[in-house]
Structure 1
Amino acid sequence: MTDTQQRPRVDPDITVDDFIAEARAWLDENAEKRTDRRGDFVWGEGDFDVAVFHNMTFDEESAYIDGISDWIKKKSERGYHAITGPASVGGLGLSRKHARAYGRLEREYASPGRHELIGVTTGLIAPTIDAMGSDTLKERFVGDLLRTDLYACQLFSEPGAGSDLAGLSCRAERDGDEWVINGQKVWSSGAQFSEWGELIARTDPDEVKHKGLTAFMLPLDAPGVEVRPITQMSGGSSFCEVFFSDVRIPDDLRIGDVGQGWLVAMTTLGFERDHSESGGDGSSSGGNWTKLLATAEYTGAIGDPVVRDRLVQQYIHGRIESLTNRRAADLAKSGTPGPEGSLGKLLWTEGMNSMSDTVSAVLGARLIADTGEWGTYAWGEHLLGAPGYRIAGGSDEVQRNIIGERVLG
């Protein structure tokens, strides 16, 4: 850390209660209380955002991402952006209990929002490099990624491979101390805003497909890289296809050993499926229980016994998801999520889709007729986006395979 990034020292033995008391005082000074929590939420006031994927122009989305980054940088002055991380990357070196408690606390305050690229940068690629990268890569990337001084996307999926990550065909061929990359990736969220990408490429076509892969950090401004945003049915262009034509990168950007790409990819996907610090209320994207209940109350659908039953089932699902995530977190003693994370990921996507069904029953025609009525037609962005997460981070079918093979045996 530089002198400008120095932060107050924190007692490594500080209790969770004392830590949260300090964090609450800091948040009171630097953030506003949320108004979309039950008891604070006022129907008809402020923005009603339940979108899963953002429907913005390039400039709007870029500014939105930078706003989230500014908040993370502000938190980094106190180490709240990397509570479990070591001091060498600006973290506090505290436990996951401290981190989960802070996560619950921060949800009481308004924040600039969430974006997939920020989550991938800080929650997937930074910890993957920390777990699998060389000392040089760790020093070069981890601190900057956690502070969002750099943005990084995943370069995993391909048009011809789908959910079968081991079947990818993007090639990396060694040429002395460099690798030459050729091929294509797709569904790379935030690639148009990223400086770097975590690439999984085939380095040995003669090996069994899982064993012939290698991982790299790839600069997206390198000659031969072309990023093309894809317009989604929800209106935005959150993800992209990326093409590589004789792209040269040095070997010191390799993550792990040659042939360890599958292990690196599974490490990243383990973090992607880990929702252990989520509240389980669907607040991460696509709306939450409070907004769903308020919508039912506003429309009068709350009096329908069938709707009431669906609402109760939605609430129960959220509680089960939260408890399952906590259990998975307790099992992740090493700090790297295991296959149990697939349970949380599957519950999350199922919860988003059941919320779509419930709000459809609540709103009816209001979902397809934009009359300007606050908090109604806006739910359409949730319905259009929710199915995407049945594919993102590994399809539902892949999650069930992981659960069946690696959890249930």
Structure 2
Amino acid sequence: MTKTSSFTAPKGVPDYVPPGSAEFVAVRDGLIHAARLAGYGHIELPVFEQTALFARGVGESTDVVSKEMWTFADRNGESFTLRPEGTAGVMRAVIQHGLDKSGQLPLKLCYAGPFFRYERPQAGRYRQLQQVGIEAIGVDDPALDAEVIAIADAGFRSLGLDGFRLEITSLGDETCRPQYRELLQEFLLGLPLDEETRRRAEINPLRVLDDKRPEVRELTANAPLMIDHLSESAKTHFEQVLGHLDALGVPYVVNPRMVRGLDYYTKTTFEFVHDQLGAQSGIGGGGRYDGLMAELGGQPLSGIGFGIGVDRTVLALAAEGKTAADPARCQVYGVALGDAAKARMVALAGELRGAGVSVDLAYGGRGMKGAMKGADRSGAKYTLVLGDRDLADHTIGVKEMGTGDQRQVPLGEVVGVLRDALGN
């Protein structure tokens, strides 16, 4: 009787296992590479932080804080939360380590890893989600806003994704947000809203515009929009961002009803949308958060960033019938026939790996037929075949898997031959 484990992954937490995990890695690394090309340095963040950091930084009226955080008390009774997003943690690290006082601004940082939301799992919405994020801190420049957006756009396109669109708007600044807030609040409180929505309108009226319920969207169809009430400085800033995006060749659609799910956004706000994903169509987004650092006890420095869902991007590629991963597990596969040949092949594999060539071997004493099946499954471009006669002749068989051609190469030269053939 076959034993099976009773243990499974927690609900809403996806496993990425071979061969599918290659797609996950390719997407994550491709998105990070786009940031590296623009000079963003890596920052590694704690997976959990003090709960108060997110309550202050993200906003207590948001669904993230009020409904979706994984919060627990440690043995001393202090409240901690598994990180629901990355920006607040980055700000905390920047302030704590004085990175904002280095004199080199903007401070450009990127990160990747798991984030956590306690919500009902469904396709594309997980309780442990994987993200890549960047933050550019310390300079309020429309050109920097455009750079951040262009990095996300370039990351998606480098993976082969093209069925997405960029939606963008401005949420104003401190010179126009208060007046608009009063105007919107007055409008909303005149509507027949349910008690919970009315309470939300009193705390943060912008959040009501983000309500997805059809009845609420119908009631707010004629609500005043921030983009129509921008101050001259905020309007100029937004126009310049759009001008830079035009110059960079990044297409966009202005969506004046956009409201991001976090309270700290100001001015430039954006989202990347992929309609083939159904209800969970957002694959990434972000914006400017000029008051966040001061709110968390740091200098009054501006900032802008984004978070891109690796899980959602993987799903978007699948929806387009595309893959970003190289299906090959290795470049070279080694088959040894006999104990002496195996000992030499193991040493040769080490030499090849040292030269930057990825190598796998046929382990377990399989025969030639079974070993060659393993070579086919590995996706290797070349298979090495070494037997006792080859050892005596100091040669090795090199088979090009694409064409089936095989030739003998001197053992002492095979590392250089393969390195050159593979372009390593």
* Greater C-alpha radius of gyration: 2
Q: Which structure has more strand as a fraction of its residues?
A: 2
TM-score by length of 2: 0.23
More helix by share: 1
Normalised by the length of structure 1, the TM-score is 0.23
